[in-house]
Structure 1
Amino acid sequence: MEKRVGRFVQGFVIVGVIASRAAAKQSPPRESEIASAQKTRRAMTLRSRDTAPMTLIYLALAFAAGIIFAAQFNLPLIVFAWWLILPLGALVIWRRDPGMRRAQFCLLFFLLGAIRYDLALPQLDENSLAAHNGRGAMLLVGAVVGYPDVRDRTTNLRFDVTRVRIEGVWREVSGVALLQAPRETGARYGDQLQVFGEPQTPPEFEDFSYREYLARQDIHSIVRAYGAVKILAHDQGNPFFAALYALRERALATIHALFPEPAASLLAGILLGVESGIPRDVRDAFSATNTAHIVAISGFNIAIIAGLLSALARRVVSAHRATLVVILGLIAYTLLVGASASVVRAAIMGSLGVLALHYHRQNDALNALFVAALLMLALNPFTLYDLGFQLSFLATLGLILYVTPISAAFESFFARFTSSDRAKQIVGALNDSFIVTLAAQITTTPLIVFAFHRLSFVGLLTNLIILPAQPAVMIWGGLATILGMIVPPVGQVIAWIAWAFLAFSIAVVQFTASLPFGSIEVGRLGLPILAAYYIVLFGLTRVGWETLRARLALRPALALGIALVVGVWAWNLALTAPDGKTHVVFLDGGTTIAQSPRGARVVIDGGASPSAALSALGQRMPFWDRTIDLLVLTDADDDRLSALIALLERYDIRQIVQVAAPAKPTAAYFKWRDLIASKRVPVTQAEVGLEIAVDRDWRLEIVFARAETSSAIARVRVGNLAFLFAESASADDQTALLKAGDDLSSLVLIAPRKITNDFADAVAPQFAIFFARTARDQPSPDWLAALARATILQTRERKVIELIVEGNSLIVR
């Protein structure tokens, strides 16, 4: 409407000037008069173009300022409602003054932002679940209202509680809790659950408020399930979301079936927004190199989805309907991947871009960014305090404001040494990775330092190397996932191509993260310093309000892509091929992975971290190989079962050696048993005297087993050397084994938590492995005294311990 009025006024000015001259002199207008009128029209056109984007930006900023004001001063809602009279009255009085009108609109949006914040505040009364926080354990009944977040030890569920039973009396309540259930619960969206647990108020940490983080998701209670979770009913949720989450789960399962770790979890994060399976060391490497944005779904993913949907839709429906199909597809994809703040922002901007193309209008990126922010804050004002939203917004703002001037500066620099055309080609090559990263880091680095107290010096280098590979990751990975759900063999072939780009990205990130001084810890960056940086930065930035078009088209050369795929394949073959040595890897958490000189693989006990086990195994196996020769379970507790269950789900297991079933099986054990039955894996019970030849001069022996405690002691013999796995051995087990009179001498002892002096003397190890179950877990003084003659290796200190056997020598890496 404003532009239509502007055009009408511009036309009226020209006609008026000409008409007045004609009326005064009754003669045709002179050329100078027409030129003057046209000059006036051009000036008004430019002013109109300048005003529109400025107005949108001012309104969005005013709305955000209102949210901040309301959060700081906690004034009653009625106060802001009464203040609305001021801007509304002023708009009537100064409706013809553009400057005053714009100022009053800003004041109006400021008050609307404050009102929206107050309306969004939760109303916690005696009927809310949060009112029962800290009042002891109780029985809760409710439904799962979100996608399950499966972690190493637990599954986090959005649990909408409707009833609680306290002291034998059922009470109606309302409120969503974060339910921390056992990993093997198996609950899905729409399931109605009965849980015994204690609602607790989310904690506050020194550098992070978990309470505020959950409150932004309308969660005000945490419930840790005591014991098993009972599923009362299925399919109690919205059928649309049930179908959407089922599709997500199937896609995730397909990715896990097609790709080894950690590539599978990385692709799941990039495509589906499921980041929980990414191992901590890989996640830390991405954070240390400022490449965590690659894992997070952003505008790049949305742009590819929009392009593919548009290309397909225009082949089957009209242009008008194709636009609707694309927008609905973006909405569905946003909901599918979890609708985080950065994804919603990207989806809104993508939808605005699609509409702009459809109606042949210019899509000003700066306008689209602030409109997207305004819509998101109106929908959920707490989004303003979401770090993901802040980083996503600032990164996009950096691209809009600085890619073009940085490109121009580099082009001018290179033009001093070469031709103008050549300079443009160089800048075009840099623009896809280096310049884009530099522009984004100008606006995001201070906030990253403020939030995480870490400064990366290798971020630009890492992004420069791996960003060109990311389109291939998205396209080939997505294609492999889709085809894998339809025709698995075809999907597997495509997955091998996608894996090369994923493995390349992970290798580069881990290498640059390991460089000395790649990143450093910094002290606290005060909020005034952060604010001053952005005030100076944007104050010195001269923004032209004409449309800014940052050309981010990625043009990877086909030959380079093929060379990269083949090169990464060859690199993986070289790293994972058997080298004629025995490799035994001990992981923090309790998993042991052994590989014989000819490449046979044995996993002994799973440990409590499935992601660590999957990642370590994926990095030590060829990307196409999904076979484990032997799984060994020496104790049927949940900590040892956790990672083994994940391996059993992902890999083809040729044989299993396990202890007797526990007297009181847990949910994890039942899942372990059911998986073995469904996959028809051959199982051998761990009994004394059992020997299994894994490779030439490489065998597994069971030297002790006790059915009552569902535990066993295993020994791996490599030529003349022995590894004794006795972590689960109790004092009685050690005594019984000594009475048997067997030769227990071993080069390496995986030692029990409590070890007797006699047992330590009988084994007489040169190396003793201590598995740390927690970050603070460490051996006792008695344990250290008993093994004083051995070299102590603790996973708490080294995270990963690798022993390499070559002949009769052993190397510790």
Structure 2
Amino acid sequence: MRLVYLALGWVCGIVLAANNPFLSSSLSLAWLILSGLALACIWLLRDRWRRFTFALLAMTMGGLRMSLAPTGSEIARFNNQGGVTVVGAVSSAPELRESGARFRVSVSALIRDGEHYPIRGEVLVLTTARSSLKPGDQVRATGLLQRPGEFDRFSWNDHLARSGVFSVMRDASIDLLAKGQEVSLQTLLYDLNQRAGRRIAAWLPAPQSALLKGILLGDESGLSPELREDFNATGAAHVIAISGFNMIVLGGTVVSLLRRARLAPFAMAIFAILTIMFYAILVGADAPVMRAALMSCLLITAGALRRRVFTPASLAFAVIVLSIGNPGVLWDIGFQLSAIATLGIMLLVDPLGAGLQRLLYALFPASAGRVAQALLAESLAVSLAAYLATLPLILRHFGRLSLLALPVNLLIVPAQAPLLIMGLLATLTALLAPLPAQLLYWLGLLPLSWTIEVVRAAALLPMASAEVQMDPRLVTATYLGLLLAALIAVQRHSVVQRLSRVLASHAGGVTALLLAAGLALLLVATRLGRPDDLLHLWLLDVGHANAILLQGPAGEHILIDGGSSPSRLMTAIGDRLPFHDRRLELLAVTVPDPGTLESLQALLQRYDLGLLLHNGQRELPPALVQAADTVITPVAGNILQLGKGLEIDVLHPQSRPLPDERQTSSYALVLRVRFGSVSFLLPGTLDREGQQQMLASSTVAPATVLQLPLHGAARSLEADLLLYTKAQLTLLHSDPDDLRNRHGNPDAEVLNLLGNTPLLRSDRTVSVHLWSDGVKLWRDQWPQEQAGN
């Protein structure tokens, strides 16, 4: 237990030095003197006081270590001094986001006003382009260096300073000077991570593939903002984050599976630790991941040794070791959550597990209760212990209390163990032999879909989360009490409960039953995904952009444009296509918008393309062209005939634009989809000039449904278009909160032109989904907007 007192002293010294600048670097000698005095006291005082003098020594050494931590860098003196150019090597894996990419650059030179400065330092670069850079690439970044900044509840300055970054370059212009030639462990891990991510995206639909990439690879870039917010609001974000929770669930599951083989506890622990380390390497083995892996291994080792005293002592040792290299890690939220979750599991998992066992026995019949207790009790106890222990910290940092966190976690936590195991096995198999991995991915699709749908359903409920402010002093008092309870309990209980004997005796049968049920559900899902002889149309939620998905009566899928958010597009399509369907029969690019083209290229990771239509204004990306079976530049009058009576008329452009034609919305591709007596006119981003050309050509015919062009922008709708189409219903793609909606579309005058024609808006309805049998037209029963509203 001396390690616990040493860790307490060490942490107190670091915090004292950090909060009192006069005790920092200028007085490093004073810390050394105090350390010498404390060391002398250890030998002079009696044995019973030595633990306190050891703590005093650790406190002085912690203060000395903090006093030596850097508080700035050479390059920081150029912050807020105008535009500069930095040259250096990419030192971190690019983190892809909706708005672009961010990565760190290890700077070797800086250029300002034509002068070159040899300089060292780390810069965090933010760019609006979704970069394909890799660690080790030599780049030149141009922009304005700035201090990171402060936010309401978060200091970005302090957060980045703890990792040695004191400068940020936003909206940087990036030039690649040379690809990294040196093969390092970082580049090997990055390549492995990217290969695994491509396999997952290819074999699973979105958003399931995005969730699995977040859980297995730490890559959350594929998650749409809406889905990520749903996980945050329902207290389930720990499932996505690479944390001690996922590590402990994975290790515990491996131990449970191996226990049936009657291996020695220590051998099982070794195998579980190796699995956790492989998982950590697959994720990328960065500092937060390795911290979570280290603490998870400590818990598993404690269980193998059956010594509860090992857990707090080893946790204390981990805190000291991790903060020696970087004392600022003590303020890292991820580190705090991992450490406190580990402490909470050590202290609370036994009483919670016993209570859950009694509850499950009460809820289920005798035999079913034993099976339920064996399958659920331990994983739920671990999740609840971690959640309850970290709740005060979550409230302190994020100010949000998820009112549904407990029921949501009770529903999704049992699915995480099979999800992790099948996901890891499938990804490892896909890296070695891709084809056999498909079945494993499909089995993993079940717990992935369950997790997503539970979280989405819970997020729709009122009061899913509430704003709560918690006094930092109350947080401190809570954790001091938790630490005191841990010290008192450490002598009396074992660290990990033994798994139920019921699970040990029936594990084979239960596993076979679960696999059979999973295969049955896959067969049912496949049957439900078959064509229903109806035409379906969805306005996809991709922000303030055009994206329409159609499913024909024969089951063909047609995508028109796609917006500029790859993650939202992949999620929207994955939600609607059958999980086994990996083909888009027709893709129409109405205008060659760069953001749309980038999103469409992301589809190629999973979907094959049949026919590709575009208006011919400029060359499409080679990857998109090569992926399609056929590429056509149609003109007005062309008709495409698909299965079971579905036809698509091309109404515009009237002729192929010249190769050097100025790119405008006047040449946008306009399609009219016909099925029986029901038709949809989809002008997309066609401006009034193009509408006038289309009307003059007499190609416009009546349509049941009309999409408002250009998101209903001011002066975007030709009044005669409404007169000729005689539409019974209008559709509007809009998102007032999107940064691209600079003019506040839709325009009130355009809406007034509609009169009493019903309007369905993507920003005012939960879902815009229409379907028809060729005679009648149905829509989701969500609120509709009258035209004038």
**Structure 2 length normalisation: TM-score?**
0.84
SS at match of 2:642: strand
Q: How many residues align?
A: 742
- Of residues 501, 526, 542 in structure 2, which corresponds to 1:588? 542
Contact in 2 for aligned 1:153/1:642 (Cα 8 Å): no
**More off after superposition, 303-312 vs 273-282:** 303-312
Partner amino acid for 1:731?
R
Partner amino acid for 2:390?
T
Contact in 2 for aligned 1:178/1:221 (Cα 8 Å): yes
Name 1:26's counterpart in structure 2.
Answer: none
- 1:480 pairs with 2:442: no
- Of residues 288, 295, 304 in structure 1, which corresponds to 2:233? 288
Partner amino acid for 2:519?
V
Name 2:242's counterpart in structure 1.
Answer: 297
**More off after superposition, 256-265 vs 55-64:** 55-64
Name 1:197's counterpart in structure 2.
Answer: 143
Distance in 1 between residues matched to 2:477 and 2:254, nearest whole Å? 42
Partner amino acid for 2:580?
W
- 1:758 pairs with 2:707: no
SS at match of 2:379: helix
- Of residues 627, 637, 641 in structure 2, which corresponds to 1:693? 641
Partner amino acid for 1:289?
T
Name 1:674's counterpart in structure 2.
Answer: 623
How far the C-alpha of 1:259 sits from its partner, in A, is: 1.2
- 1:263 pairs with 2:208: yes
- 1:513 pairs with 2:465: no
How far the C-alpha of 1:618 sits from its partner, in A, is: 1.2
SS at match of 1:629: strand
- 1:706-785 aligned within 5 A: 707=657, 708=661, 709=663, 711-719=667-675, 720-743=677-700, 745-746=702-703, 747-752=705-710, 753-754=713-714, 755-762=716-723, 763=725, 765=727, 766-772=729-735, 774-775=737-738, 777=741, 778-779=744-745, 780-785=747-752
Distance in 2 between residues matched to 1:736 and 1:501, nearest whole Å? 52
Deviations 1:160-187 (A, max 9, x none): 2222322223322322222233545421
Rg bigger for which structure?
Answer: 1
Distance in 2 between residues matched to 1:781 and 1:576, nearest whole Å? 40
Gaps of 5+ in 1: 1-52, 313-318
Name 1:62's counterpart in structure 2.
Answer: 9
Indicate how the Cα distance of structure 1 residues 293 and 552 shifts in structure 2: closer, same or farther if over 3 A, else same: farther
- 1:212 pairs with 2:158: yes
Deviations 1:286-330 (A, max 9, x none): 223322222223346546479979999xxxxxx999999997886
SS at match of 1:681: strand
- Of residues 522, 544, 549 in structure 2, which corresponds to 1:569? 522
Distance in 1 between residues matched to 2:562 and 2:35, nearest whole Å? 65
**RMSD between aligned residues:** 3.7
- Of residues 771, 776, 779 in structure 2, which corresponds to 1:804? 771
**More off after superposition, 574-583 vs 603-612:** 574-583
Name 1:527's counterpart in structure 2.
Answer: 472
How far the C-alpha of 1:615 sits from its partner, in A, is: 1.0
Name 1:449's counterpart in structure 2.
Answer: 395
How far the C-alpha of 1:529 sits from its partner, in A, is: 3.3
**More off after superposition, 589-598 vs 618-627:** 589-598
Distance in 2 between residues matched to 1:148 and 1:515, nearest whole Å? 36
Name 2:29's counterpart in structure 1.
Answer: 81
How far the C-alpha of 1:684 sits from its partner, in A, is: 0.9
Contact in 2 for aligned 1:432/1:552 (Cα 8 Å): no
How far the C-alpha of 1:494 sits from its partner, in A, is: 1.9
How far the C-alpha of 1:392 sits from its partner, in A, is: 2.0
Contact in 2 for aligned 1:702/1:714 (Cα 8 Å): yes
Name 1:12's counterpart in structure 2.
Answer: none
Name 2:55's counterpart in structure 1.
Answer: 106
Distance in 1 between residues matched to 2:368 and 2:439, nearest whole Å? 39
Name 1:22's counterpart in structure 2.
Answer: none
Distance in 2 between residues matched to 1:408 and 1:141, nearest whole Å? 59
**More off after superposition, 531-540 vs 255-264:** 531-540
Distance in 2 between residues matched to 1:527 and 1:135, nearest whole Å? 37
- Of residues 92, 101, 106 in structure 2, which corresponds to 1:160? 106
- Of residues 563, 579, 585 in structure 2, which corresponds to 1:607? 563
Distance in 2 between residues matched to 1:433 and 1:391, nearest whole Å? 18
Distance in 2 between residues matched to 1:767 and 1:704, nearest whole Å? 20
Deviations 1:104-137 (A, max 9, x none): 2212222322332332233334xx1x33333333
Partner amino acid for 1:116?
R
Distance in 2 between residues matched to 1:558 and 1:772, nearest whole Å? 47
Name 1:639's counterpart in structure 2.
Answer: 595
Name 1:492's counterpart in structure 2.
Answer: 438
Distance in 1 between residues matched to 2:473 and 2:650, nearest whole Å? 64
Contact in 2 for aligned 1:306/1:330 (Cα 8 Å): no
Name 1:144's counterpart in structure 2.
Answer: 90
Contact in 2 for aligned 1:751/1:768 (Cα 8 Å): no
Distance in 2 between residues matched to 1:192 and 1:233, nearest whole Å? 5
How far the C-alpha of 1:540 sits from its partner, in A, is: 6.0
Indicate how the Cα distance of structure 1 residues 716 and 387 shifts in structure 2: closer, same or farther if over 3 A, else same: farther
Partner amino acid for 2:568?
A
Indicate how the Cα distance of structure 1 residues 650 and 422 shifts in structure 2: closer, same or farther if over 3 A, else same: closer
How far the C-alpha of 1:141 sits from its partner, in A, is: 2.0
Indicate how the Cα distance of structure 1 residues 300 and 394 shifts in structure 2: closer, same or farther if over 3 A, else same: closer
Contact in 2 for aligned 1:636/1:661 (Cα 8 Å): yes
Distance in 2 between residues matched to 1:404 and 1:305, nearest whole Å? 18
Name 2:386's counterpart in structure 1.
Answer: 440
Contact in 2 for aligned 1:634/1:713 (Cα 8 Å): yes
Name 1:251's counterpart in structure 2.
Answer: 196
How far the C-alpha of 1:628 sits from its partner, in A, is: 0.9
How far the C-alpha of 1:423 sits from its partner, in A, is: 9.1
Partner amino acid for 1:573?
T
- 1:30-429 aligned within 5 A: 53=1, 55-75=2-22, 76-95=24-43, 96-125=45-74, 128=75, 130-225=76-171, 229-237=174-182, 239-299=184-244, 301-302=246-247, 304=250, 333-339=279-285, 342-350=288-296, 352=298, 364-408=310-354, 428=374
Indicate how the Cα distance of structure 1 residues 582 and 661 shifts in structure 2: closer, same or farther if over 3 A, else same: same
SS at match of 2:629: coil
How far the C-alpha of 1:351 sits from its partner, in A, is: 5.1
Indicate how the Cα distance of structure 1 residues 115 and 578 shifts in structure 2: closer, same or farther if over 3 A, else same: farther
**More off after superposition, 249-258 vs 796-805:** 796-805
- 1:655 pairs with 2:602: no
How far the C-alpha of 1:602 sits from its partner, in A, is: 0.9
Distance in 2 between residues matched to 1:296 and 1:199, nearest whole Å? 30
Distance in 1 between residues matched to 2:707 and 2:513, nearest whole Å? 49
Distance in 2 between residues matched to 1:681 and 1:447, nearest whole Å? 54
Contact in 1 for aligned 2:551/2:558 (Cα 8 Å): yes
Indicate how the Cα distance of structure 1 residues 65 and 193 shifts in structure 2: closer, same or farther if over 3 A, else same: same
Deviations 1:580-628 (A, max 9, x none): 3322222232222221233211111110111111111112122222111
How far the C-alpha of 1:412 sits from its partner, in A, is: 7.6
**More off after superposition, 110-119 vs 770-779:** 770-779
Partner amino acid for 1:741?
S
How far the C-alpha of 1:356 sits from its partner, in A, is: 7.5
SS at match of 2:103: strand
How far the C-alpha of 1:372 sits from its partner, in A, is: 1.7
Distance in 2 between residues matched to 1:371 and 1:602, nearest whole Å? 58
Indicate how the Cα distance of structure 1 residues 428 and 329 shifts in structure 2: closer, same or farther if over 3 A, else same: closer
Contact in 2 for aligned 1:364/1:547 (Cα 8 Å): no
Deviations 1:628-670 (A, max 9, x none): 11111111112221321111232111111112243xx7xxx5x
Contact in 2 for aligned 1:145/1:237 (Cα 8 Å): no
Name 1:4's counterpart in structure 2.
Answer: none
Contact in 1 for aligned 2:306/2:494 (Cα 8 Å): no
Distance in 2 between residues matched to 1:774 and 1:575, nearest whole Å? 35
